[in-house]
């Protein structure tokens, strides 16, 4: 959805023509797969992070256009709302000291952006949901300037035909409505890309789905929305409900939501693209002039523009991506489950854990997805979002007896998944010093049962105990979070609570 689209209205013929083009694109993708036209493995990974803009008072700042003008870098771009930015790190080969390189690039980029934002009394905050966001901040008038945001909002609103209902029952319960998709903008994430060959795609995607719950459990960082303490990772239910084109009647009929974990393990990338066409009507039926089958007949590589655009409006937590680089097509798995933050070190630790454990699980001779029902993986994901570091997950038993058992997420990660992640990073050729440092951050989070969400919640409650009102406590928590985020030490080392005021004199 980063592509520019032209605003305009669509009629019935546009949708029929688009559906026909989508089928052509799907046939083109099938031919590309059959003819083995995809790039050979390059072990390439990529990283995108969505960011918030907030002032020194911890409150959101609706000024991404002004900040981007000052940053003046193609690495930064707008996101859905005016308090959002996104930073894109160039693709890297998964080998050597790649994680330290990523860490240095990200630190440099964020520090520069933060300085530029300071020039207009704003700053960069890397967090899953900014705790100080209010309902009045998440309205259509605060969507970023740009045709694609307006058009996407208009089409999702039209498809739903009524207000969006938000109902998230966590530590507290939030019930409200929205007239636009603007609440989706509260969700700021880390997106991890892995370029894979068609033959490896299914194994990598299945592995990513299986481990998504563990990622969220140790990385949760979004416990607050609209002044309410909800799930430890509130982005998934918020994202689902704020983009839900289904009125209650269609939900009751079992129509799939556009924000989707999925419902089965797959055997090919084709499965996911085909499902997207079969289950989800077009939101943006914009056609280009390319005939993908004629391009293939002529020996060329089709852009499959309609397929790519449609794919960007189905919000899978592990999304398939078709792209072309230097004239050669490739496939990527885009992992979207992680919230942004808390620090660069935490983000890179989450990144190292993901790439390591996915490699190891995809390489297993008896893969985890042959031993774990898909329904259990989906239930694990919801449990991890709800309970964070304290979640209990269903996982295959080790040993000859088989079956599954409930296990604490921290024990699963520390005892089983971290050793797998280490082996996976070795298989990628990552230097041991990087492997041990970043996986050590994950191990310490597990040992102390601390992540960004648990720190935010504990600090907020400490502020309430000191006599602050809810709004003041959330603002103070946000300001303290921002200070510690920019200081850069990983979240498991952060002291809980607000700093004591320094006495004068």
List, for residues 187-197, the tens digit of each pLDDT value.
999 999 999 99
Buried b (16+ CB within 10 A) or exposed e, 410-444: bebbbebbbebbbebbeebebbeebbebbbebbbb
Q: Give the residue carrying structure tokens 């007896």.
A: 401
Cα 461 to the chain's mean position, in Å? 27
Q: For the segment 113-140, what is each residue's pLDDT rounded down to a tens digit?
A: 999 999 999 999 999 999 999 999 999 8
pLDDT at 121: 96
Helix then strand then coil, % of the chain, to nearest 5: 50, 20, 35
Vertex 471: Cα angle to 466 and 476 (nearest 5)? 60
Q: Enter the pTM of the model.
A: 0.95
Collect all residues with Cβ–Cβ distance below 8 Å to 321 and sequence separation of at least 6.
193, 311, 331, 332, 333, 334
pLDDT tens per residue across span 199-247? 999 999 999 999 999 999 999 999 999 999 999 999 999 999 999 999 9
pLDDT at 3: 47
504: phi > 0 → left, psi -120 to 50 → alpha, else beta; which? beta
Is-contact 329 186, C-beta < 8 A? no
**Which pLDDT does position 39 carry in this prediction?**
83
Structure-model confidence comparison of residues 337 and 150, the more confident one: 337
pLDDT of residue 137: 95
Spatial distance between the Cα atoms of 450 and 439, rounded to a whole number of angstroms: 15
Task: Report the pLDDT value the prediction gives residue 145, as an integer from 0 to 100.
Answer: 83
Mean pLDDT for the stretch of residues 412-436: 98
Can you read off the two tokens belonging to residue 60? 């959101």
> Count H helices, E strands: the chain?
17, 15
Residue 173's SS3 state is strand
pLDDT, mean of residues 169-194: 96
Please give the Cα distance from 348 to 104 (Å, whole number): 10
The pLDDT of residue 445 is 98
The C-alpha atoms of residue 194 and residue 201 are separated, in whole angstroms, by 10
The owner of tokens 């080392």 is: 493
The rounded percent of the chain whose pLDDT value lies above 70 is: 97
**What's the pLDDT score for residue 1?**
40
What phi and psi values does residue 39 have, to the nearest 5 degrees? -65, 150
Angle CA 279–312–46, to nearest 5: 130
Residue from 85, 107, 334, 384 nearest 234 by CA: 384
- How far apart CA 77 and CA 84 sit, in angstroms, is 9
Q: Are 86 and 79 in contact (CB under 8 A)?
A: yes
Write the CA distances from 86 to 109, 188, 233, 309, integer angstroms: 11, 9, 20, 19
pLDDT at 53 over 60: yes
pLDDT at 371 over 80: yes
The pLDDT score that the predictor gives to residue 80 is 86
Residue in the block written with tokens 């080790």: 398
């Amino acid at each position: 959805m980063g592509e520019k689209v032209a605003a305009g209205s669509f009629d019935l013929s546009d949708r029929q023509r688009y559906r026909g083009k989508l089928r052509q694109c799907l046939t083109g993708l099938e031919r590309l797969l059959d003819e083995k036209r995809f790039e050979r493995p390059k072990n390439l990974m990529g990283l995108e992070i969505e960011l918030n803009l907030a002032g020194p008072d911890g409150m959101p700042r609706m000024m991404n256009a002004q900040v981007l003008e000052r940053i003046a870098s193609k690495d930064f771009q707008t996101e859905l709302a005016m308090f959002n930015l996104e930073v894109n790190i160039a693709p890297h080969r998964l080998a050597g000291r790649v994680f330290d390189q990523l860490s240095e690039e990200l630190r440099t980029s964020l520090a520069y952006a933060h300085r530029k934002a300071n020039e207009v009394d704003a700053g960069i905050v890397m967090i899953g949901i900014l705790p100080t966001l209010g309902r009045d901040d998440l309205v259509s008038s605060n969507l970023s300037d740009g045709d694609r945001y307006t058009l996407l909002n208009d089409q999702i609103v039209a498809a739903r035909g009524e207000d969006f209902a938000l109902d998230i029952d966590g530590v507290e319960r939030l019930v409200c409505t929205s007239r636009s998709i603007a609440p989706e903008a509260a969700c700021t994430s880390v997106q991890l890309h892995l370029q894979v060959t068609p033959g490896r795609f299914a194994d990598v995607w299945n592995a990513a789905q299986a481990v998504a719950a563990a990622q969220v459990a140790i990385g949760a960082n979004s416990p607050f929305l609209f002044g309410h303490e909800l799930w430890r990772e509130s982005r998934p239910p918020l994202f689902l409900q704020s983009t839900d084109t289904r009125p209650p009647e269609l939900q009751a009929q079992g129509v799939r939501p556009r924000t989707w974990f999925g419902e089965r393990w797959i055997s090919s990338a084709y499965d996911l693209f085909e499902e997207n066409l079969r289950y989800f009507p077009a939101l943006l039926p914009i056609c280009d002039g390319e005939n993908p089958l004629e391009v293939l007949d002529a020996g060329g590589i089709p852009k499959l523009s309609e397929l790519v655009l449609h794919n960007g409006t189905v919000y899978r937590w592990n999304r398939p991506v078709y792209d072309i680089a230097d004239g050669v097509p490739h496939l990527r798995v885009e992992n979207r489950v992680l919230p942004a933050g808390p620090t660069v070190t935490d983000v890179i630790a989450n990144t190292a854990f993901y790439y390591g454990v996915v490699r190891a699980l995809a390489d297993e001779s008896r893969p985890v997805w042959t031993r774990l029902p898909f329904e259990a993986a989906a239930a694990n994901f919801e449990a991890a979002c709800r309970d964070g570091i304290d979640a209990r997950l269903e996982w295959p038993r080790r040993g000859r007896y088989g079956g599954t058992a409930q296990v604490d997420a921290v024990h699963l990660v520390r005892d089983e998944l971290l050793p797998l992640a280490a082996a996976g990073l070795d298989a990628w050729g990552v230097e041991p010093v990087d492997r041990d440092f970043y996986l050590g951050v994950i191990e310490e989070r597990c040992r102390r049962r601390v992540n960004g969400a648990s720190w935010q919640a504990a600090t907020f409650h400490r502020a309430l105990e000191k006599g602050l009102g809810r709004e003041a406590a959330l603002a103070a928590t946000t300001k303290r979070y921002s200070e510690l985020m920019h200081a850069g030490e990983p979240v498991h080392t952060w002291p809980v609570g607000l700093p004591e005021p320094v006495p004068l004199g």
